[in-house]
């Protein structure tokens, strides 16, 4: 990697992530919920008991193991663990793997005298979608999943041997045990081998193909079974992890065909934010026109790709790399709020596919440099804005509210306004929340508090407002 790219990546990482290495109250929440239970784990038995107890609020085995390593290193050095610094180191390793893959995709020299792999890795380093997984300690699951998936991808692009096939299976397993969003990666691997190898090669490498086929299939099926056991409480041969299913309320429900419209809107949202990261939302919602714009961009990109000549196969492979993790998250999480950081796994494929289209368009060199500079400036400004939102819960939910109203953003910003004594604005947001999610206990409690605590509201006005709840006995104590 060129030295100037390394310097730029280190600089932008410190600008974006440096302030977040200081322990803010918002980030300390993850220290307590996710990492503190692992401090006293000293054996496999301790870890297994912790899992069975349901004490961990989330269950991602390899990510949790990385937290445990942080604790062990910190205790050996006699210091407090710095989980965020570890996130940054993982992020640098991920960028390096992406740069190696980009070099394989763009082997020829650019006619514009622009280093395409170097430019892509820099744009990925400052992409707003990448801020949250690096900033959020819980987001390490996304970081590790992408890093190991890129590692498996890079190995698959090289010379394949049986030992390398075993390493690919292990890397894929590590990524899936960090966060299962890339559980469909074997489909991409099969598509790559089918389009880049011939029958003579397949006959010569039967053992390698057997290891890859059996290994990847077993890992994928095992990961699906593990997540159904943990998050849906399914029993397999008498084995069940019920505490996690109870904590999560079985939120990973089966896909419902009547939610296909919500899933498609989610696809549009993710696709738009991958290429034009102007409206990065902390929570997904179906009400934004960006969702429809993103959906319109998909057939447009497909039409442009169809006009490709030499690079058509590379484009479709990169597009498949983008589509598979988005398919997983929209099919399984379409009916709940989902952070846009779930599109993080699709980012490398989207950037490679976009670069293939741009390179094939043969734009003038000067114009292309200006376009890249403009995209870089917008992405950097948006990333700084997103990163600073993580310095406090109030700033985080205010940003979410400014992007798009959701039940979560309305609830938390209304609570902040009540604490600041802005009762009228708090009541307005509580009223919109009541329209979005009527009947929920938290919504009713917030709305009642906003009405009853308003010192400027007359008694008859309070009665009229409480009547909106539809609860006969609703009154101010």
3-class DSSP assignment, residue 337 = coil
| DSSP H helices in 205-335 | 206-232, 242-248, 260-275, 289-306, 312-332
Nearest alpha-carbon partner for 230 in 57, 32, 37: 57
Cβ-in-10-Å burial (0-12, 13-18, 19+) of 318 comes to: buried
For residue 289, count other CB atoms closer than 10 A to its CB. Answer: 10
Instruction: Give the Cα separation of 1 and 223 in Å (integer).
Output: 35
Distances in Å between the Cα of 377 and the Cα atoms of 12, 126, 242 are 12, 9, 48
For residue 219, the model assigns a pLDDT of 95
Instruction: Give the Cα separation of 385 and 87 in Å (integer).
Output: 19
Q: Are 63 and 140 in contact (CB under 8 A)?
A: yes
For residue 94, the model assigns a pLDDT of 96
Cβ-in-10-Å burial (0-12, 13-18, 19+) of 37 comes to: middle
Both tokens of 117, joined, read 């792999």
Q: Are 411 and 449 in contact (CB under 8 A)?
A: no
3-class DSSP assignment, residue 252 = coil
Rg value, the chain, Cα: 24
For residue 250, the model assigns a pLDDT of 45
Q: Residue with structure tokens 């904590």? A: 247
**Domain range list for the chain:** 93-389, 405-469
For residue 246, the model assigns a pLDDT of 55
Between helices 3-17 and 116-125, what is the axis angle to 10°?
A: 10
Per-residue pLDDT of the chain (477 residues; tens, 9 = 90+): 577 778 888 888 888 877 766 555 666 666 677 888 888 888 888 888 887 777 777 788 899 899 999 999 988 888 888 888 899 999 999 999 999 999 999 876 555 567 888 889 999 999 988 888 888 788 899 999 999 999 999 999 999 999 999 999 999 999 999 999 999 999 999 999 999 888 998 899 999 999 999 999 999 999 988 887 777 777 777 776 666 655 554 444 455 555 667 777 778 888 888 887 766 665 556 667 888 888 898 898 888 888 888 788 999 999 999 999 988 877 665 444 456 778 899 999 999 999 998 888 777 777 778 888 888 888 888 888 877 777 666 777 776 676 667 777 788 888 888 888 888 888 888 888 888 777 777 888 888 888 888 888 888 888 887 787 777 776 776
Nearest alpha-carbon partner for 101 in 443, 427, 351: 351
Q: Are 141 and 63 in contact (CB under 8 A)?
A: yes
pTM of the model: 0.85
Longest dimension (CA), the chain: 85
Instruction: Give the Cα separation of 361 and 302 in Å (integer).
Output: 14
Q: Are 38 and 61 in contact (CB under 8 A)?
A: no
Nearest alpha-carbon partner for 285 in 345, 343, 340: 340
Beta bridge partner(s), residue 236 = 239
Between helices 162-178 and 185-196, what is the axis angle to 10°?
A: 150
Instruction: Give the Cα separation of 439 and 407 in Å (integer).
Output: 13
3-class DSSP assignment, residue 239 = strand
For residue 112, the model assigns a pLDDT of 53
For residue 376, count other CB atoms closer than 10 A to its CB. Answer: 17
Both tokens of 144, joined, read 């590790």
Q: Are 144 and 62 in contact (CB under 8 A)?
A: yes
List all residues 6 or more positions away from 60 whose beta carbon is below 8 Å from its beta carbon. 141, 177, 178, 179
| CATH class, 405-469 region | mainly alpha
For residue 257, the model assigns a pLDDT of 58
Both tokens of 244, joined, read 């996690």
């Amino acid at each position: 990697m060129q030295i100037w790219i390394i310097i730029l990546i280190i600089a932008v990482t410190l600008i974006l992530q440096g302030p977040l290495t200081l322990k803010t109250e918002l980030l300390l929440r993850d220290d307590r919920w996710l990492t503190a239970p692992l401090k006293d784990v000293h054996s496999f038995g301790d870890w297994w008991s912790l899992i069975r107890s349901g004490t961990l609020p989330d269950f991602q085995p390899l990510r949790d193991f990385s937290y445990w390593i942080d604790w062990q290193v910190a205790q050996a050095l006699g210091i407090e663990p710095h989980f965020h610094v570890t996130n940054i180191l993982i992020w640098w390793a991920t960028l390096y793997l992406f740069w190696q893959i980009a070099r394989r995709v763009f082997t020829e020299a650019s006619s514009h005298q622009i280093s395409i792999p170097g430019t892509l890795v820099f744009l990925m380093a400052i992409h707003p979608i990448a801020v949250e997984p690096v900033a959020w300690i819980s987001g390490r699951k996304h970081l590790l999943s992408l890093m190991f998936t890129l590692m498996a991808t890079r190995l698959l692009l090289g010379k394949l041997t049986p030992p390398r096939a075993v390493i690919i299976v292990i890397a894929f397993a590590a990524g899936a045990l960090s966060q299962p969003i890339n559980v469909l990666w074997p489909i991409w691997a099969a598509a790559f081998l089918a389009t880049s190898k011939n029958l003579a090669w397949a006959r010569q490498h039967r053992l390698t193909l057997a290891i890859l086929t059996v290994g990847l299939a077993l890992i994928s099926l095992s990961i699906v079974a593990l997540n159904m056991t943990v998050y849906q409480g399914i029993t397999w041969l008498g084995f069940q992890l019920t505490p996690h299913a109870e904590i999560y309320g079985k939120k990973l429900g089966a896909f419902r065909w009547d939610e296909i419209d919500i899933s498609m809107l989610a696809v549009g949202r993710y696709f738009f934010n991958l290429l034009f990261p102007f409206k990065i939302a902390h929570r997904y919602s179906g009400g934004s026109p960006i969702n429809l714009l993103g959906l319109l961009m998909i057939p447009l990109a497909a039409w442009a790709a169809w006009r490709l000549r030499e690079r058509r196969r590379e484009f479709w492979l990169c597009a498949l790399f983008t589509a598979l993790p988005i398919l997983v998250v929209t099919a399984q999480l379409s009916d709940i709020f989902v952070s846009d950081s779930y599109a993080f796994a699709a980012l490398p494929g989207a950037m490679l596919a976009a670069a293939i289209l741009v390179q094939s368009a043969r734009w003038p060199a000067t114009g292309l440099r200006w376009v890249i500079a403009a995209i870089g400036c917008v992405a950097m400004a948006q990333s700084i804005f997103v990163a600073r939102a993580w310095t406090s819960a109030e700033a985080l939910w205010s940003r979410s509210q400014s992007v798009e109203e959701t039940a979560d953003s309305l609830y938390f910003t209304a609570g902040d306004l009540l604490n600041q004594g802005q009762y009228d604005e708090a009541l307005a947001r509580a009223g919109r929340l009541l329209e979005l999610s009527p009947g929920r206990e938290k919504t009713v409690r917030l709305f009642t508090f906003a009405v009853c605590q308003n010192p400027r509201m007359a008694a008859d006005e309070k009665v009229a407002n409480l009547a909106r709840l539809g609860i006969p006995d609703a009154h101010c104590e």
